[in-house]
Amino acid sequence: MGRIFIKNADFIITMDDAGSVLKNESILIDGNKIADTGASLKSSPGDEVIDAAGCVVMPGMVNTHHHLYQTMNRNVPRVADYELFDWLTTLYEIWRELDPEWVRISTLVGLGELLLTGCTLSTDMFYVFPRSAPPDIFDYEVEAGKKIGIRFHPCRGSMSRGKSQGGLPPDDVVQTEEEIFSDCERVIKKYHDPSPFSMCRIALGPCSPFSVTAELIRETVRFARKHGVLSHTHLAETKDEEEYCLKVYKNRPFHFMRDLEWEGEDVWLAHCIYLDEEEIRLMGETRTGVAHCPVSNMRLGSGVAPVPQLIKAGAKVSLAVDGSASNDSSDMWGEARNCLLVHRLKGGAKAITSEQVLRLATRGGAEVLGWDEIGTLEKGKAADLVVIDLKKIGFAGGLFEPVGALLLTGDSHIVDYNIVNGNIVVRNGKLVNVNEEELVEQAKELSFKKLEKAGRKTGINYFRKG
Ligand SMILES: [Zn+2]
């Protein structure tokens, strides 16, 4: 980690409070921080120089919801046209096969794709702990995150309510509450680094009201607060879930979570589609975080989250790709583009602006995950940024300003450089810390092997639509 001089960028989207876009200026990175920006900055001998003429530089994006293990189950034909509940119960049979190799390869694939598409900080919600897997299986994803060089904030997820207890998952992928809390404590001690510019923090994440008990949801947020970590879960993703909450808990989704003490700055919730006006108002008032996952919601036909209303109400809103089995992709840049488009489809051309979307994807995510030192390109902030070369045919004719150019034009979502904590992790559109070709081969082999194995056990042909 030395000095990097990003020279003479056409545009620097700072994402500062004033929304400043600098023109023909440079950025100096010293160690893991931005040392300065300006037109008259000069490089010194020994600096790595990136010529950014014709390029845009922007803060790295932040992904606030994922299930990285699912990158091995993208585009599974069997569930191609399923909605959430059928999709889940079918895929759980495959997820029973989860093992360290699967966790390692899928994490490298998912985080690798995120880095390539402009993300510098990601969470993950890892919640499948099969009885057949070693008890420290979560550690394999933390190690893979370290290897690839992303800033990582994974959730130690949990499921405690299997089929025999009225839940959705098979009994052999859920754990007892004792097992869950003792492992949460272990991974917080081992990996959680709350210091500024840390490369790894841990959050806790009971999966959903269909796979854990209400008591576990409440106990988890209390446990998280005691240990100074954030809490995350899914909420109000589908109409089915809304009906389930009304029927079983006699309550609407967010009211149900508030009764369990899940509200406020240290909590964030994925999806948040089926909220009424009062719930939206309360999410804003309590500054509860939202992970908006537009592509996954479109892919599963779940609905469109009331994001413009949540922003207006003051909720902390961020952007997320969700698990790759329900998005089929971990393309962060593509997620931003789709976010813009879906809200315009629903609410008209004035529903949301390109600037608002890019803000959700950068600062919005940093706020939701509680990282004050990232999300903007300003002196003293973390050196987490991406460089995108605009001298490409997809941008030609559309370079009047850069924010709309990024969301509305372009012919690829691969960034040219990605720098995390002052380290170059994507150079010339290629991952630096893993061999991409080898990883793609390993993923292909593993994904076929796991579907075949699950098929032999269940008698289901996952390679055909069902
Ligand atoms: Zn999810």
- Say which CATH number the domain at 306 has: 3.20.20.140
- Residue 1 clears pLDDT 80, i.e. is over it: no
Centre of ligand 1 to C-alpha 272, Å, is 11
Mark whether 12 and 161 lie in a shared domain: no
Centre of ligand 1 to C-alpha 297, Å, is 10
Kindly state whether residue 45 falls inside one of the protein's structural domains.
yes
What's the rounded Cα separation, in Å, for the pair 125 and 320? 12
- Residue 166 clears pLDDT 90, i.e. is over it: no
Instruction: Look at residue 325 in the predicted model and tell me its pLDDT.
Output: 76
Centre of ligand 1 to C-alpha 181, Å, is 21
**DSSP reduced 3-state for 25:** strand
Mark whether 168 and 243 lie in a shared domain: yes
Mark whether 276 and 136 lie in a shared domain: yes
Looking at beta carbons, which pairs linking 279-285 to residues 24 or more positions away fall under 8 Å? 279/236, 279/252, 279/253, 279/254, 279/255, 280/306, 280/309, 280/310, 280/313, 280/315, 281/313, 282/254, 282/258, 283/254, 283/310, 283/313, 283/315, 284/310, 284/312, 284/313, 284/314, 284/315, 285/313, 285/314
Q: Which of 78-87, 166-175, 243-252, 262-271 has the highest mean pLDDT?
A: 262-271
Centre of ligand 1 to C-alpha 323, Å, is 6
Cβ atoms of 384 and 362 closer than 8 Å: no
What's the rounded Cα separation, in Å, for the pair 53 and 143? 36
Centre of ligand 1 to C-alpha 398, Å, is 35
Q: Which residues of 407-421 are buried (b: 16+ CB within 10 A; e: fewer)?
A: bebbeebbbbbbbbb
Centre of ligand 1 to C-alpha 320, Å, is 9
Centre of ligand 1 to C-alpha 330, Å, is 13
pLDDT band at 407 (very low <50, low <70, confident <90, very high): very high
Kindly state whether residue 136 falls inside one of the protein's structural domains.
yes
Both tokens of residue 426? 């994507």
Centre of ligand 1 to C-alpha 28, Å, is 37
Kindly state whether residue 403 falls inside one of the protein's structural domains.
yes
Centre of ligand 1 to C-alpha 215, Å, is 21
Supply the CATH number for residue 427's domain. Answer: 2.30.40.10
Per-residue model confidence as pLDDT tens digits over 329-374:
899 999 999 999 999 999 999 999 999 999 999 999 999 999 999 9
Looking at beta carbons, which pairs linking 346-351 to residues 24 or more positions away fall under 8 Å? 346/304, 347/308, 351/308
Centre of ligand 1 to C-alpha 191, Å, is 22
Mark whether 72 and 123 lie in a shared domain: yes
Residue type for 114, please? L
Instruction: Look at residue 373 in the predicted model and tell me its pLDDT.
Output: 97
The 8-class DSSP code of residue 60 comes to P
**Nearest to 224, CA basis, from 190, 262, 196, 179:** 262
Mark whether 76 and 205 lie in a shared domain: yes
pLDDT band at 223 (very low <50, low <70, confident <90, very high): very high
Cβ atoms of 118 and 112 closer than 8 Å: no
Domain boundary among 335, 369, 403: 369
What's the rounded Cα separation, in Å, for the pair 395 and 372? 32
Centre of ligand 1 to C-alpha 273, Å, is 13
Mark whether 213 and 300 lie in a shared domain: yes
**DSSP reduced 3-state for 460:** coil
* 348 φ, ψ (degrees, to nearest 5): 95, 170
Centre of ligand 1 to C-alpha 270, Å, is 7
Instruction: Look at residue 98 in the predicted model and tell me its pLDDT.
Output: 97
Mark whether 91 and 230 lie in a shared domain: yes
What's the rounded Cα separation, in Å, for the pair 68 and 422? 25
Centre of ligand 1 to C-alpha 383, Å, is 29
Centre of ligand 1 to C-alpha 302, Å, is 12
Kindly state whether residue 298 falls inside one of the protein's structural domains.
yes
Centre of ligand 1 to C-alpha 182, Å, is 24
What's the rounded Cα separation, in Å, for the pair 328 and 394? 23
Centre of ligand 1 to C-alpha 235, Å, is 9
Centre of ligand 1 to C-alpha 54, Å, is 37
- Residue 326 clears pLDDT 90, i.e. is over it: no
Mark whether 243 and 95 lie in a shared domain: yes
**Nearest to 50, CA basis, from 449, 457, 443, 389:** 389
Cα within 13 Å of Cα(275), Cβ side: 29
Mark whether 130 and 203 lie in a shared domain: yes
What's the rounded Cα separation, in Å, for the pair 323 and 68? 6
Kindly state whether residue 461 falls inside one of the protein's structural domains.
no
Mark whether 253 and 398 lie in a shared domain: no
Q: Which residues of 137-163 are buried (b: 16+ CB within 10 A; e: fewer)?
A: bbbbbbebbeebbbbbbbbbbbbbbbe
Instruction: Look at residue 124 in the predicted model and tell me its pLDDT.
Output: 98
Centre of ligand 1 to C-alpha 67, Å, is 6
Centre of ligand 1 to C-alpha 291, Å, is 10
Paired sense of beta strands 3-13 and 21-30, if any: antiparallel
How much of the chain is helix, strand and coil, in % rounded to 5?
40, 20, 40
Triad 100, 104, 109: Cα angle to 5°: 145
Instruction: Look at residue 427 in the predicted model and tell me its pLDDT.
Output: 98
- CA dihedral over 241, 275, 253, 170, signed as positive or negative: positive
For 145, residues 6+ apart whose C-beta sits below 8 A from its C-beta are 107, 111, 152, 154, 200
Centre of ligand 1 to C-alpha 387, Å, is 29
Centre of ligand 1 to C-alpha 321, Å, is 9
Mean pLDDT of 290-312: 96
How distant is the alpha carbon of residue 465 from its chain centre? Answer: 28
Centre of ligand 1 to C-alpha 4, Å, is 36
Centre of ligand 1 to C-alpha 325, Å, is 10
Centre of ligand 1 to C-alpha 380, Å, is 34
Centre of ligand 1 to C-alpha 326, Å, is 8
Triad 52, 53, 57: Cα angle to 5°: 45
The 8-class DSSP code of residue 80 comes to T
For 81, residues 6+ apart whose C-beta sits below 8 A from its C-beta are 465
The H or E element containing residue 448 is helix 436-458
Domain boundary among 317, 352, 369: 369
Residue type for 190, please? K
What's the rounded Cα separation, in Å, for the pair 226 and 14? 35
Centre of ligand 1 to C-alpha 269, Å, is 10
**350 dihedral zone (left: phi>0; alpha: psi -120 to 50; beta):** alpha
Domain boundary among 341, 369, 397: 369
The 8-class DSSP code of residue 40 comes to S
Centre of ligand 1 to C-alpha 147, Å, is 24
Query: Rounded to the nearest 10 degrees, what angle do helices 84-95 and 436-458 cross at?
Result: 100
Instruction: Look at residue 210 in the predicted model and tell me its pLDDT.
Output: 80
Centre of ligand 1 to C-alpha 19, Å, is 31
- Residue 195 clears pLDDT 90, i.e. is over it: yes
Kindly state whether residue 448 falls inside one of the protein's structural domains.
no
Which residues constitute the domain of residue 43? 3-59+375-431
Mark whether 115 and 190 lie in a shared domain: yes
Query: Within a 10 A sphere around the Cβ of 8, how many other Cβ atoms?
Result: 17
pLDDT band at 466 (very low <50, low <70, confident <90, very high): confident
Kindly state whether residue 449 falls inside one of the protein's structural domains.
no
Centre of ligand 1 to C-alpha 451, Å, is 21
Centre of ligand 1 to C-alpha 296, Å, is 9
- Residue 328 clears pLDDT 90, i.e. is over it: no
The 8-class DSSP code of residue 79 comes to G
Centre of ligand 1 to C-alpha 207, Å, is 8
Mark whether 93 and 170 lie in a shared domain: yes
State how many domains the chain has: 2
Per-residue model confidence as pLDDT tens digits over 65-96:
999 999 999 999 999 999 888 988 999 999 99
Kindly state whether residue 436 falls inside one of the protein's structural domains.
no
